[in-house]
Each structure stands twice: as C-alpha cells, then as structure tokens.
Amino acid sequence: MKWMMYKFSAYNRILFHREKSLSILSDGDSCLRLRTFVQDAAIGLFSGWPLLFCPHLKSTPLPWQGLFILNVSTHSEKGDVTMNSELQQVVKLSEEYNLIPIVRYMMADTETPIRLFQHFAKEKHAFLLESVEGGVKWARYSFIGTDPFMMLYGKNGEMIFEKNGEKISFDDKPLSLLKDHLRYYRSPAMSHLPPFTGGAIGFFGYDLLQYYEKLPAHRIDDLQMNDLQFMFCDQVIVFDHFKQQLQIIGNVHVPKETTQTGIVQSYGVEEAYNAAVAKIEATVERLQQQVKIPVPIGAGVPTMPEVGDVQSNLTKEQFIANVDKAKEYIRAGDIFQVVLSQRFSIETEVDPLHVYRVLRTMNPSPYMYYLKMGEEVIVGTSPEALVKVDGSKVETRPIAGTRPRGKTPEEDLALEQDLLADEKERAEHLMLVDLGRNDIGRVSEFGSVKCDSFMEIERYSHVMHIVSNVTGKLREDKDFYDAFLSCLPAGTVSGAPKLRAMEIIAELENEARGAYAGAIGYLGFGGTLDTCITIRTIIFKNGKAYVQSGAGIVWDSVPESEYTETVNKAKALLTAIRAAEQLFGKPGDACDQNFNAINSDYYIKAGEGFVQ
C-alpha cells in the first residue's frame, strides 16, 4: 500500500475549492513522495508531514492509536467528488446530533499556553483555563478560546442573549435559560477528545441563589456585576501538556432543515462541515503569525513589593463588630458557622494578563483562569472545586483548614501534624464535609454518596490544606444543572446552615459580593461541568482591581484574628498586582518582542478526527 505525501511550507498551501476538489500550490521546491503506510504514518505524525490519501484509498486507523488520518475531499478516478472519511462520519452522526466536534492537531513542544494566548489577548472576549495538580504538576489540558458565537448575561431579573449583534431580553430564571440553550445542542461524547470540546464559559455570581430562594438583597451594589455571564464558544484550542500538542477543536452546526424530514441531507451538513473546517484553518493561520510578547522591564522574576495604598469597603472596627454580631447568632442557635468577608481595592493600570502570569507562578492552583468579558477581566487561582459532573459521577471537594508550608521537610511535617491536631480546624472541616454530603445527596441515587478521601493534607506552593472528596451517582431524573444549583454557593464561603448563613451575610455585609464566592468554570455541549469557587480572585474594572476575602466565624472565633485572616488572604493577591507592575510597568512600558508561535511545518492538515 502506497501513500501520497506533500510537504507543507510557507509557500505550499492546500486549498479547498467550492466544488470540494483538492488543489496544491507549490513553490516548485518540494517533492512528492511515496512511502509505505507505516513509514508515512510515523513521519506524518512526528515530523510535520501532513498525510493526504490517494483518491482511491479509504481511511485507515493507525494501528497503535486507533485514530483516523483524514483526507480532504478529492476527485475519484471517475472525476466525481467523494466525501472524506471525517465528513462521512459527520453526516452519519448528524442523524442523531446537531453539534459535532472535529479536531486538527499541531505540534507544540516549544510553546506555552501563555504565548499561544497572546494571539487573542486583545480580543473583547477571550478565556484561558489552566490547572496545576497538588501545587507541583501541570494538569494535562489548558483551554484557550475567543470569538463566542453567543453571550448570556444579566442581573436583577433581566437576562440577555446576544447573538450576531442582536440582543434578546428574557425574564426567565438564569439557570433555566442557560440549561435550555445548552440542551438545544446535542453533541456526542468522544473518548479520544478532552473533557471540554466547546460550550459555555464564564461565572455565576454569589447572589444567583436569590432567583431560587427567598433571600434578602444586599443594600449596595457598587461593582454592578452581572448575576452571571457566559461566552458560548464552538471552537476551543486545547494545549495537551502530556503530548506537547495542540488540539484545535471546532464544531459542525448541523442545520435544522437537514433533519426535519427525518432524512439527513448531506449537502447541508457538508456546507456546515466546510464552515467549521474553514474556521479552524483561519485559527491555524492566526497561530502562524508573529505575535508580540511583552518582556519584563524589571527583575526577571516576581519579587514581593509593598502593596501601598489599599481601600476597603469596611473599616477594621466595622468588620470586628460584624464578627461579634455573627457570634451572637451562633450562640442563639441560628447557625453553626458563617463566612464574613471584606473587599479591598487598589488603583492600577497594569495589564490583567501580566497579573495572571505572576499569579500562576506565585500560586499555582487546581483552577487558574483568565476571563476577559468586555470591560471586566477576572483573574484567579482558586484551590477549591465547587462541583464537577462527568457522566453520572457528581463530585465536590471541600477545603477547610490551612497552614503555611514549612521551610524544611521537618518543619513542613510538623505544621501538617499541628493542622490535623487542631480541634477547631477539624470541627470546621467536618461541618463542611457534612454540608457537601448533603448537597450531593439531594441529586444522587440513594446510598451512592461516599467520602472518597477524608481529611487528607494537600500541599500547594505556599500553603497546605485539609481536603476531603465527596462523590455520588447522579439520579436519572437530575442533570448537572441540578447538581450545580444544589451546591451553590459552597458552604466554605457561606456557612451552615447555608440559607440562614446567607441571610446573615446579607444583613452584615454592606455590598453585594458580585462574582466573589460564586463559581467559575465551563458547561460543555456534551453534558460535562467543571466549576470552582470564586476565591483568590481579582476583578479588574474601571481602572481598579478588586479583591475580596473572607473568614469562617464560629462560636469561639477571635474577631481580631478573623480580621487578620482576611487581610492576609487579600494581601497575596494585591502583592501579585504590584509585582506585575514592577515587572511590566504600565501599558506600553514593557518591551515587546516578536515570536512566531507556531511552525506550520508541524501542522497535521488533514486531522485525525474520530475514533471508529
């Protein structure tokens, strides 16, 4: 069996014509090669040679991976147009699904997610999601996206969908709207693709529960943030840290008219497929362009500068008075615990992306995010999941109890033992585990809720936490929206019992929390959900940076200590802002250098698409 190959360079382009034929424009330098299947597959996958099928050959899975090397549409020997293997499978899947992911791969062993994201950093809407496991190991995938085809946002009972420049207002409950619009898209689960292949990315505000429970509103809402805000993205760039590879995942929007009669009209699907391919091709071209990367003007690594002038929405005396009042409620039996917070703000002109770059090095965490949504930018490194749903498995991971890391292994172990022996920390953690079991239990099958891990120590770069993991099997009459609503907001940022604690928070805290203590994450078209609690997060808006932090108040809390805890938590984030200013200065101060982020020789043009 022989295979046809053509080297792809800056002057060689494979063009898709309207009649779906294949043309190759060459500079005359490259040669056409014929090799055996195994040789071609190895060279094509690992040496940057795109593989093109001979017109008379069918697609063949690689024996060691089971992945298709897919051709573009070509003319058969008789001269008629034939479908490529990927398109054939898209047509078949369109009988059941109306949104079908396709994928192209690029070698990226010299790249980083930050450098790749620079191509989209100036867009009005963009996101970068990353993760570090255990504070020391990068999780497998980082997700990059921009150019949402639809937006959902709103507050005070009015929700707005924005699509193609048009805005439609609804007075429905926000989660119901989000649920209905995501459910419209039926997307197949692909075992060889990452867990997120497109969907809604954004944040849920802390006060979202007011739409579903009778809760008092905060008296002041100075930040004027939406109750929720989501970008619907049908293309995602996935950085695979394990394979050192990019997966550019697009989605084929199957037109309604192709399936209304019950018979799939392949021409409509083919047009939608070509549109998705063209969008991927445009992204590839963009990634091949030079991009300016700001180079630090100061020290090469972040230092610990002074925070300087900081404003708070509460005085120290007001916060301590709130703690005393909360303890009265605890003694009266209203609650066991409540989390009180204060919001700090500083003026800054620093690029929020520079702050994210500093944060991800100073405080690597399981959930790291950069969300740019118009005039607001949300940057954070949260250690704590809110709820995660994958298939029928629902999971939450309460964190409570903290100590700093030791300077030596011996000191680190001593601090761990001290933390686990602290009765107050243990009692608080146990309370939150029980709350998590209750939240998960409301949407899980009877008897399926269990604690996979209990009161284990999880270490991060600067601190260690007590962590437990609670899982359950989602009931058949529930979905990930029900699981999310059951867990929002987390007990670690509200209290127990949750609703009464939220009533007390609304009474004692002057201002609406906005995004703080809500959730950030994605809801996939395929039914996956992964969200974290919005803590250790910075909101950039109107030339200011806002940081909110809280402390869990129990019956024997010392008000002065609780105040200090909120200050110390916020200080770490405020320091990251000042460090970014020190490193990069104001916009325009940093020295830009041109980098060609992607070498086009390593683009597998034909893709690998589907598992058979």
3-state secondary structure 396-464: ECCEEEEEECCCCHHHHHHHHHHHHHCHHHHHHHHHHHHHHHHHHHCCECCCCCEEEEEEEEEECCCEE
Band (595; pLDDT cuts 50, 70, 90): very low
Asked about 462 being catalytic, the answer comes back as no
- Tens digit of each residue's pLDDT (9 = 90 or more) over 80-101: 445 688 999 999 999 999 999 9
Asked about 82 being catalytic, the answer comes back as no
Asked about 283 being catalytic, the answer comes back as no
Residues 522, 538: Cα–Cα separation, whole Å? 19
Q: Inform me whether the pLDDT recorded for 263 exceeds 80.
A: no
Residues 256, 479: Cα–Cα separation, whole Å? 25
- Tens digit of each residue's pLDDT (9 = 90 or more) over 355-382: 999 999 888 899 999 999 999 999 999 9
Read off the pLDDT of each residue in 11-29 and give the average, rounded to a whole number.
31
Please measure the distance between the N-terminal and C-terminal CA atoms of the chain and give it in whole angstroms. Answer: 21
Sequence-distant (6+) residues with CB within 8 A of 438 are none
Exactly one of 44, 48, 550, 552 is catalytic; which is it? 552
Q: Inform me whether the pLDDT recorded for 458 exceeds 50.
A: yes
The pTM for the full model equals 0.81
Q: Inform me whether the pLDDT recorded for 2 exceeds 80.
A: no
Exactly one of 125, 218, 357, 536 is catalytic; which is it? 536
Residues 228, 204: Cα–Cα separation, whole Å? 4
Exactly one of 141, 329, 369, 516 is catalytic; which is it? 516
Extended strands (E) in 307-375: 311-312, 337-347, 367-373
Asked about 360 being catalytic, the answer comes back as no
Asked about 552 being catalytic, the answer comes back as yes
Query: Which helix H or strand E contains 286, and what residues bound it?
Result: helix 266-288
Q: Inform me whether the pLDDT recorded for 35 exceeds 80.
A: no
- Tens digit of each residue's pLDDT (9 = 90 or more) over 137-185: 788 999 999 999 999 999 988 999 999 889 999 988 888 899 889 989 9
Extended strands (E) in 164-219: 166-170, 199-204
Residues 402, 425: Cα–Cα separation, whole Å? 8
Percent of the chain with pLDDT over 70: 78
- Tens digit of each residue's pLDDT (9 = 90 or more) over 299-331: 565 666 777 789 999 999 999 999 999 999 999
- Tens digit of each residue's pLDDT (9 = 90 or more) over 212-253: 888 888 778 889 999 999 999 999 999 999 999 999 999 999
Residues 189, 237: Cα–Cα separation, whole Å? 18
Q: Inform me whether the pLDDT recorded for 423 exceeds 50.
A: yes
Read off the pLDDT of each residue in 518-539 and give the average, rounded to a whole number.
95
Q: Inform me whether the pLDDT recorded for 7 exceeds 50.
A: no
Q: Which residues pair with 530 in a beta bridge?
A: 388, 522
The distance between the two most distant Cα atoms of the chain, rounded to a whole number of Å, is 87
Q: What angle do CA 589, 590, 595 make, to 5 degrees?
A: 145
Q: Domain ranges in the chain? A: 2-110+245-290+600-604
Residues 523, 530: Cα–Cα separation, whole Å? 7
Report phi then psi at 169, rounded to 5. -100, 140
Average pLDDT of the chain, as a whole number: 81
Exactly one of 197, 258, 348, 492 is catalytic; which is it? 492
Exactly one of 104, 343, 437, 465 is catalytic; which is it? 465
Q: What angle do CA 52, 46, 190 make, to 5 degrees?
A: 75
